[in-house]
Amino acid sequence: MKPNLLSWEETLFRDQDVFDLNYVPEQFDYRDDQTQSLVFAIRPGIKGGKILDTVCRGPPGTGKTTSVKKIFESLRETTQAILPIHVNCRIDASEYAVFTRIYTSLTKRGPPPSGTSVKQLIDMIARFVEQEQIQPLVCLDDANYLIYENQFNKVLYPLLRMHEVFPGINFGLIIIISDPGIDLQNSLEVRVQSTFHPEIIQYPPYSAREIAGILNER
């Protein structure tokens, strides 16, 4: 009797976790150049320098998030100088939501008290970073959702300018954009353009051979 491939007991994949949105494969192939570009941008922060800002561009399913998460795993294992923070902008699509996520990720506390303004929240974040003497590395994943909601500049500007109010504080930024139709430069206000000069890292679609290799691994 042939197995029913549609039954709950049968699967074409060895591990059902591969369908989890947060799944990070142990083996990550075909994105060595992009990963090395990210590592090069982050490396100065390990020695106390400024992390270089980057923008990862490419359609959905091209390894952008996975490459960042793999690097974040390595950072957590090897250094305390950089604190990686991943923000899913599909979920946190407003200025307040993003800074709340940054605050809770940094402090390991619950959300700020009700009625806390964005300015107060940013001050709380800055004072914590100043006290702990760390350099946060914030990944704004699917940042195109912030652009859709006209929140992108509201988030970037305080992160880029925080060192002017709190000398010595620097945030590294990784921006992931999955909408090829977005004109990033035209999405930036002049006040942001003057300080945001990222390296653009392109993630092209996987080839048929690469897709076959990925599926074979899973």
Looking up residue 172, the CATH number of its domain turns out to be 3.40.50.300
In a 3-state reduction of DSSP, which class is residue 170? coil
Mean per-residue pLDDT, 174-202: 97
What are residue 88's DSSP bridge partners? 141
17 part of a folded domain: no
Report if residue 54 sits inside a domain.
yes
The phi, psi pair for 196, rounded to 5°, reads -105, 105
Q: Which pLDDT score is estimated for 20?
A: 43
- Helix, strand, coil percent content, the chain, rounded in steps of 5: 45, 15, 40
Question: Range with the lowest mean pLDDT among 2-16, 63-77, 102-116, 123-137?
Answer: 2-16
DSSP helix/strand/coil, 82: strand
Q: At which residue do the structure tokens 């504080």 appear? A: 169
Enclosing domain of residue 207: 32-217
State the total domains in the chain. Answer: 1
Q: What average pLDDT does the segment 54-74 reach?
A: 95
pLDDT category, 7, cuts 50, 70, 90?
Answer: very low
pLDDT(155) > 60: yes
For residue 179, tell me if it sits in a domain.
Answer: yes
pLDDT at 46 over 70: yes
Q: Is residue 25, in this structure, part of any structural domain at all?
A: no
- The pLDDT value recorded for residue 213 is 72
Asked whether residue 41 is assigned to any structural domain, the reply reads yes
Domain assignment present for 21: no
- Specify if 66 maps to a domain: yes
113-141 average pLDDT score: 96
**Does residue 61 lie within any of the structural domains?**
yes
Residue whose C-alpha is closest to residue 46's, from 19, 74, 10: 74
Taking the model in full, what pTM does it have?
0.87
pLDDT tier, 167 (very low <50, low <70, confident <90, very high otherwise): very high
Q: Tell me what the pLDDT averaged over the chain comes to.
A: 88
